[in-house]
């Protein structure tokens, strides 16, 4: 189990919702697909590191800052005598490497993941130095997608391709590692420095009145869902969900898109759209959120 888990970046969740509820400009759509794909790649890598048996502390998605430079570490693993740092890329298709640069086959230069990795390693070293920790860092770019191919791939660069991963993981597993409280404190310290980032200044403009309303399927995002008793059923993929869970999902979606909006029964009723009466919505809100004013519910989840 990871010491710090990964959750879906708010930017991905919001862009998915916007992509479903309005027409995104091509560049925003592209950004959404790129982010979604990157996140999928990170989850694929997590599925591998989770299986590690050797003593280690896995820190997924650390966002740190050193001297006003912010940086994000996809995956860091603390072992007894080193920290392994991984920059995970879910690129797909054919690319080539020439004179220290990466290109698509259409000769379009892409950001060099090796430079990105170097920057992350340098900044992490600074952070560790500032908290008085000395431990070697060993970092790699991981091309996780089996459909990625790099022509003229450089030798002697810290790159792991998807078909090399089984052996790489096997080797990680075999190395002797014995962790003590010092390692635990190191991991705790890094997690305490993690900064959650709000994506609102990077999003395309959107407004409540112009977004398509309606409950969507939790699995396939389709709007073809209908209420059947205490459940909602998706007409596209057949997925079923408890009404209460769908309403809570709706509230969370509204709150993420519009953090300052007042959550009221009427608002949630309008947003979810598929429930005829407001009774069920009111009941779910009362059971899960606290009142903060007349008719208004606070977003503090009662179970938190």
What is the secondary structure of 88-100 as a DSSP string?
Answer: EE---EEEEEETT
Of 117 and 217, which has the nearer Cβ to Zn ion?
217
- Residues 243, 232: contact at Cβ < 8 Å? yes
- Name the token pair of 295: 């008719």
Q: Which stretch binds Zn ion (CB under 5 A): 30-38, 39-47, 180-188, 215-223?
A: 215-223
Q: In whole angstroms, how close is the CB of 221 to Zn ion at the nearest point?
A: 7
Of 140 and 223, which has the nearer Cβ to Zn ion?
223
159 binds Zn ion (CB under 5 A): no
Partners of 90 in the β-ladder: none
Torsion of CA 42, 47, 48, 53, to 10 degrees: 130
**Rounded CA gap, 3 and 177, in Å?**
16
Q: In whole angstroms, how close is the CB of 293 to Zn ion at the nearest point?
A: 36
Element containing residue 29 per DSSP (H, E): helix 26-49
- Residues 20, 212: contact at Cβ < 8 Å? yes
Q: Tell which one of 220, 256, 290, 292 touches Zn ion (CB under 5 A).
A: 220
Q: Which stretch binds Zn ion (CB under 5 A): 144-152, 205-213, 218-226, 281-289?
A: 218-226
Q: In whole angstroms, how close is the CB of 235 to Zn ion at the nearest point?
A: 8
Of 61 and 241, which has the nearer Cβ to Zn ion?
241
- Residues 74, 86: contact at Cβ < 8 Å? yes
Q: In whole angstroms, how close is the CB of 238 to Zn ion at the nearest point?
A: 7
Of 216 and 264, which has the nearer Cβ to Zn ion?
216
Element containing residue 39 per DSSP (H, E): helix 26-49
Query: Binding pattern to Zn ion, positions 221-250, x when CB under 5 A?
Result: -x-----------x-xx-x-----------
**Rounded CA gap, 162 and 90, in Å?**
10
Query: Binding pattern to Zn ion, positions 167-206, x when CB under 5 A?
Result: ----------------------------------------
3-state class (DSSP) for residue 77: strand
Binding residues with Zn ion: total (CB under 5 A): 8
Write out the residues near Zn ion by the rule CB under 5 A: 217, 219-220, 222, 234, 236-237, 239
């Amino acid at each position: 189990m990871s010491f710090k888990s990964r959750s879906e970046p708010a930017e991905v969740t919001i862009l998915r919702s916007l992509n479903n509820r309005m027409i995104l400009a091509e560049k925003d759509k592209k950004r959404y697909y790129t982010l979604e794909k990157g996140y999928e790649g990170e989850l694929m890598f997590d599925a591998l590191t989770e299986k590690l048996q050797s003593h280690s502390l896995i820190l997924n998605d650390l966002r740190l800052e050193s001297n006003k430079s912010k940086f994000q570490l996809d995956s860091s693993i603390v072992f007894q005598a080193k920290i392994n740092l991984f920059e995970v890329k879910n690129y797909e298709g054919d690319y080539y490497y020439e004179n220290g640069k990466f290109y698509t086959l259409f000769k379009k230069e892409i950001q060099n993941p090796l430079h990105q990795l170097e920057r992350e390693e340098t900044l992490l070293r600074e952070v560790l130095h500032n908290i008085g920790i000395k431990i070697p860092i060993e970092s790699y770019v991981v091309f996780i997608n089996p459909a990625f191919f790099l022509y003229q791939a450089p030798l002697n660069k810290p790159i792991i391709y998807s078909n090399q991963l089984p052996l790489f993981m096997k080797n990680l597993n075999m190395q002797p590692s014995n962790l003590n409280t010092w390692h635990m404190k190191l991991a705790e310290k890094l997690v305490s420095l993690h900064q959650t980032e709000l994506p609102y200044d990077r999003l395309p403009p959107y407004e409540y009145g112009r977004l398509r309303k309606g409950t969507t399927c939790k699995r396939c995002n389709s709007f073809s869902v209908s209420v059947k008793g205490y459940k909602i059923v998706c007409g596209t993929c057949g997925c079923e969900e408890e009404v209460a869970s769908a309403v809570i999902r709706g509230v969370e979606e509204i709150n993420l898109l519009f953090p300052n909006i007042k959550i009221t029964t009427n608002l949630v009723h309008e947003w979810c759209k598929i429930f005829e009466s407001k009774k069920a919505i009111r009941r779910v809100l009362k059971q899960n959120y606290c009142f903060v004013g007349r008719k208004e519910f606070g977003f503090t989840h009662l179970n938190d």
